[in-house]
Chain A
C-alpha cells in the first residue's frame, strides 16, 4: 500500500464531496448538475477503494472494492438516465435549465 496516510485520502474525498455539493447547489444547467453529482459519487468510491485495503477479505462480507465496482455501474446507469431526462427536457421546454422545469410532467 506504499505507506500512504489515511488523512490524505479522507481529506481528498471530503474535498471532492464539498466541490460536488457546491456544484449541485449553484449550477442550473442539467449537464453541469450531472457532472457535480459524478464528482460527489467519485468521492464515495474513492473511500471504498481506499478502506478496502484494510480488510481485503472479510469472511462472508462484501468487500470494499466489490462495492466500488457496483457503484461505478450505478453511476454509469445514472448518467444514462440523466441524459435521457436532458433530451426529454430539451424537447419539452427548449432548454436544459433545471429552474425552468417546474412540472413533473414533461
Chain B
C-alpha cells in the first residue's frame, strides 16, 4: 500500500522532471521562465514534504521570486518583443547520450553504496538557525562576502561608459 507522502512525492517528482525539460525545450523564452517558475515552486513543495520548511520558504522567496524575476528582466531588456521565438537549435544525439549516461552513472554509483544505517528523522528549523548563527556562522559570513563581491562585479560589468 503506497502512502500519501509517497504518492505526493511521485507526483511532485514527475512535475519537476517534466517542467525542467519543458523549460529547456520551449521555443519562446517567456514560456521557459513560466516553466522554470513552476519547477521552483514544485521543488519548494518537495522540501515541505521532507520536513524542511525553512528551505521550502527560502526556495519560494529566492528562486520562485527573485531568480525568476531576474531571468524575466534579462529577457525584457535584451529583446524588443519579449514573445519573439528562439531560433530552433538541433538536438544532437551526443548531448542526449551524455545526459542519459550521467543519469545512469549517478543512479548505479549511489545504488552500490552501503545503505544508510540510521533512520531518517525530521529536522527542527530552530536547530538549523542555531547552527547557522553559531557553528556554521563562518559559512554565512563567507556567503555575505561572496554576495558582496558578486554584486560589485555585476555593477562593474554594466556600468555606463565602458569600453
Contact = CB atoms under 8 A, between A and B. Distances in A.
Chain A complexes with chain B: yes
B52 A35 contact: no
Given A65-B52, A66-B131, A66-B136, A27 B24 contact: yes
B23 to A, nearest CB: 6
Nearest to A86: B74
A10 B110 contact: yes
Interface residues of B, number: 85
B127 to A, nearest CB: 6
Interface string B94-127: 1110111011001100110000101111111001
A52 B86 CA distance: 40
A81 B153 contact: yes
Given A16-B16, A22-B99, A70-B140, A4 B6 contact: yes
Contacts of A67: 139
A61 to B, nearest CB: 8
Nearest to A89: B78
Contact of A1 (B13, B106, B122): B122
A48 to B, nearest CB: 9
Contacts of A90: 77-78
Contact of B58 (A6, A11, A16, A72): A72
Contact of B147 (A50, A63, A73, A84): A73
A80 B95 contact: no
Contacts of A52: 52, 123
A2 B89 contact: no
A15 B67 contact: no
Contacts of A11: 13, 107
B107 A14 contact: yes
8 contacts: A1-B119, A19-B21, A30-B74, A35-B33, A39-B20, A54-B116, A73-B143, A88-B157
